[in-house]
Copies of this chain bind each other. A is one copy, B any other.
Amino acid sequence: MATIKDVAKFANVSVSTVSRVLNASGYVEKNTEERVLAAIKQLNYKPSQIARGLVNKQTKTFGLVLPDITNPFFPELARGAEDEARLHGYNIMLCNSDWDIEKEKMYLGILQEKCVDGIILVGSRLPEAYLAEMLAAFATPLVLLDRTSSLEVHSISINNILSGYLATKHLIEQGYRSIAHIAGTPSPTVEQRLIGYKQALAEHDILFDEVLVFQGDYRISGGATAMQRILRLRNLPDAVFCDNDLMAIGALEALQEAGIKLPEQMALVGCDGISLGKYVCPRLTTIFQPTYKMGSMAVQLLFETIHKGEATAFKHIEMEPVLVVRESSPRKHNCQEQ
């Protein structure tokens, strides 16, 4: 690769001058500029962002740590982040943490070493105490996505209590009384959903029954396994609310294998609003979340902190989930309709 020195030599000027035309900073005589430009072109010179970064203290890249890009909830979010970043000439470093706290920590460390200009941490399961400690020793702007925190960090989250509430209330209103819950990998989000679930139950004088809460892992297979457990219950529930659409789809599979008809024998509501849910059979009722937007907002927040400096107040943005009723939950319906 040609360096700025090569260009300078070729154009018969100093590196300072080349730098000036590169950055359009300071005066350069028309004639000189043209020679420099010609040299750049001739040598196919590309300024090293990393050398620049060293002096400018910026790499023009953000780190995006998310649980698993293979889970259809996250690509949308990543895309929102990438699109917004690109508008400002930034790139995204993608890291999959698999809901694993150790991996999260590892990536946070690596991203710091790589001197990213900001980090978006999605669905983090890091304990508040660790987060607090980290934040103290942390120069890099950070925004929490899909995770709340009482600390001094930007965060964008869903009103997860409302998500749990809306899903459960919908099921109750459809006439279901015994509603199981397949939870995601433990995290604040999952706790909040459970609160909403309980709220809706309480409001309708249905007793909360711990036995009806099952542990899932946000994966299709985990949803299937949990549903198989449910099917072994002496008294079957008549509806299930899953903490994400993927688990709902796994549950759906298990139900079909067991020959149980949806929603007649068992209703199902997911959570996420991934587009996949529109195409399964029966189409999945879900709680929609503005994923793409959350990704782009996170990047916007990062830019705000970068530009306005430390003094900014931290924002805790909460998005509203929306119930999307499809076929898997309303009384009466079947796959070939609609």
Residues of A within 8 A of B (CB): 1, 44, 46-51, 53-54, 59-61, 64, 68-70, 72, 74-76, 78-79, 82-83, 91-96, 109-110, 112-115, 137, 139, 220, 249, 252-253, 256, 275-276, 279-282, 335-336, 338
Contact = CB atoms under 8 A, between A and B. Distances in A.
A39 to B, nearest CB: 15
B44 A50 contact: no
Q: Which 9 A-B pairs have the closest CB atoms?
A: A281-B281, A94-B94, A69-B75, A279-B280, A49-B113, A44-B137, A49-B114, A70-B75, A50-B115
Copies of this chain, tallied across the complex: 2
10 contacts: A1-B112, A46-B112, A48-B54, A49-B114, A51-B54, A69-B79, A72-B75, A78-B94, A82-B96, A91-B95
Nearest to A44: B137
B69 A91 contact: no
A1 B276 CA distance: 44
B48 A113 contact: yes
A34 to B, nearest CB: 22
Nearest to A58: B50
A268 to B, nearest CB: 13
Given A78-B69, A95-B82, A275-B220, A46 B113 contact: yes
A46 B108 CA distance: 11
Contacts of A137: 44
Contacts of A70: 75-76, 79
Contacts of A60: 114
Nearest to A292: B70
A194 B165 CA distance: 50
Contact of A50 (B110, B114, B282): B114
Residue among A70, A93, A282 with max Cβ neighbours from chain B (10 Å) = A70
Contacts of A1: 112, 139
A312 B114 CA distance: 30
A94 B114 CA distance: 15
Given A50-B50, A139-B1, A335-B335, A92 B94 contact: yes
Contacts of A253: 279
Given A79-B70, A82-B94, A115 B48 contact: yes
Given A69-B82, A92-B93, A280-B280, 9 more contacts: A46-B113, A50-B50, A69-B69, A74-B75, A253-B279, A256-B336, A256-B338, A279-B280, A279-B281
Contacts of A72: 72, 75, 276
Given A50-B114, A280-B280, A280-B281, A93 B91 contact: yes
Nearest to A78: B69
Residue among A74, A115, A220 with max Cβ neighbours from chain B (10 Å) = A115
A277 to B, nearest CB: 9
A112 B49 CA distance: 9
A326 to B, nearest CB: 12
A34 B113 CA distance: 22
Nearest to A69: B75
Residue among A47, A68, A252, A276 with max Cβ neighbours from chain B (10 Å) = A276
